């Protein structure tokens, strides 16, 4: 039976058609009295409540087109939770089995969402000396090892977000293009955290190809500024999904104009202020992004538009110390 398409009436064929086209909101309260104007792209408006829905859809559809993923197949991926949730949404609609491999250090809300969406969650114990709620490079290495083992055992399709060019392309074609259109080409600065580097690279490529003088700044945990060439003091931090103290394979320094290190404390403080002053309920990485944007806005040329992203919702962190009772 052919799928109905009622988009002309406002009815979408599936939840997958609700991915993208998220709003861009001015933070004129939290960023008041600064010469630069901070704009936040609200990515928790996506169905899986994060920016990673965009890459999940692109990765799966590209794999279908290439023949790497067959009807009824199994998808597997290592995840801090957001990419896994995006893949779970896509796989639920398209009929694929999903195995999400993640560290026990990631928030419990993420794994419960994955299970609710029909995914099998494979939890990997943290490395020795790890702290709950802080996922380190060593933790990620263990998750990667287990993902590779399961991929071989099951003959599954691995989404492979750290190496898959579809990750970057998704943001170049959608997120970056949307930012350009929403600012009418007036965006002056983009700033964002780097995990797989897909979001940063895709948006940076989209903006710089349209106007080469757009400035782009990468956000790293203050304790692990590896992209900036700084000293890695501690690979453990609370900014889940970013800052793994390694140079991602998708990273291209030619598209980055500078770096900002943000501490856990700064990220937490700004995330809480966003909720109280702007009514925007984001997670740790959203706090880090806005903290970096505010820093840039303080010294910007008056009127400069500084864009960053609200990567996911604070609802995914209610079991952490981000928003205490």
Average pLDDT of the chain is: 93
3-class DSSP assignment, residue 189: strand
CA distance 35 to 138: 40
Residue numbers annotated as active site = 52, 285
Q: Taking residues 102-119, what's their average pLDDT?
A: 91
Give the model's pLDDT for residue 196: 94
pTM, two decimals, is 0.92
**pLDDT above 70: residue 230:** yes
Token pair of 176, please?
């970056």
**pLDDT above 80: residue 149:** yes
Residue pair 225/232 in contact by the 8 Å Cβ criterion: yes
Q: Give the pLDDT confidence of 177-208 residue by residue, as tens digits.
A: 999 999 999 999 999 999 999 999 999 999 99
3-class DSSP assignment, residue 248: coil
Give the model's pLDDT for residue 239: 82
Domain borders along the chain are 7-45+166-317, 53-158
Q: Is-same-fold flag (7-45+166-317; 53-158)?
A: yes
Q: Give the pLDDT confidence of 246-275 residue by residue, as tens digits.
A: 899 999 999 999 999 999 999 999 999 999
What confidence category does residue 1 fall into, taking pLDDT thresholds of 50, 70 and 90? very low
Phi, psi of 128 (to 5 degrees): -60, 135
- What is the distance of C-alpha 253 from the center of its chain? 19
Q: What is the CATH number of domain 7-45+166-317?
A: 3.40.50.1100
Q: How far is CA 226 from CA 71, 167, 259, 262, in A?
A: 40, 21, 10, 13
In this prediction, what percent of the chain has a pLDDT beyond 70?
Answer: 97
Give the model's pLDDT for residue 128: 83
Give the model's pLDDT for residue 231: 86
Q: What is the CATH number of domain 53-158?
A: 3.40.50.1100
Token pair of 188, please?
């002056």
Contacts of 229 (CB under 8 A, 6+ apart): none
**pLDDT above 60: residue 4:** no
CA distance 168 to 13: 26
Give the model's pLDDT for residue 129: 76
**Sign (positive/negative) of CA torsion 18, 22, 23, 28?**
positive
Q: In terms of Cα–Cα distance, which of 207, 263, 278, 199 is closest to 40? A: 278
Token pair of 317, please?
């962190």
Q: Give the pLDDT confidence of 42-70 residue by residue, as tens digits.
A: 999 999 999 999 999 999 999 999 999 99
């Amino acid at each position: 039976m052919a799928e109905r398409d009622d988009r002309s009436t406002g009815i979408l064929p599936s939840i997958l058609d609700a991915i993208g086209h998220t709003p861009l909101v001015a933070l004129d309260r939290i960023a008041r009295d600064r010469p630069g104007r901070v704009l936040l792209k609200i990515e928790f408006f996506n169905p899986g409540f994060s920016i990673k829905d965009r890459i999940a859809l692109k990765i799966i559809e590209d794999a279908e087109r290439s023949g790497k993923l067959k009807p009824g197949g199994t998808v597997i991926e290592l995840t801090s939770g957001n990419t896994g949730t995006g893949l779970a949404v896509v796989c639920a609609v398209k009929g694929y089995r999903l195995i999400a491999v993640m560290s026990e250090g990631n928030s419990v809300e993420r794994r419960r969402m994955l299970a609710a969406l029909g995914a099998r969650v494979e939890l990997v114990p943290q490395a020795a000396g790890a702290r709950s709620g802080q996922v380190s490079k060593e933790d990620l290495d263990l998750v990667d090892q287990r993902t590779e083992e399961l991929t071989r055992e099951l003959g599954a399709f691995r989404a492979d977000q750290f190496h898959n060019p579809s990750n970057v392309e998704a943001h170049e074609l959608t997120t970056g293009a949307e930012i350009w259109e929403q600012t009418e080409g007036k965006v002056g600065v983009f700033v964002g955290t780097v995990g797989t580097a897909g979001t940063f690279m895709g948006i940076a490529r989209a903006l710089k190809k349209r106007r080469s003088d757009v400035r782009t700044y990468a956000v790293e945990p203050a304790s692990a500024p590896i992209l900036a060439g700084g000293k890695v003091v501690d690979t453990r931090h609370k900014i889940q999904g970013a800052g793994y103290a390694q140079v991602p394979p998708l990273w291209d320094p030619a598209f980055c104009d500078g770096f900002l290190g943000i501490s856990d404390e700064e990220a937490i403080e700004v995330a809480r202020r966003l909720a109280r002053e702007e009514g925007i309920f984001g997670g740790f990485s959203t706090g880090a992004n806005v903290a970096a944007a505010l820093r840039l806005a303080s010294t910007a040329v008056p009127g400069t538009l500084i864009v960053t992203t609200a990567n996911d919702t604070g609802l995914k962190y209610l079991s952490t110390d981000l928003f205490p009772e």
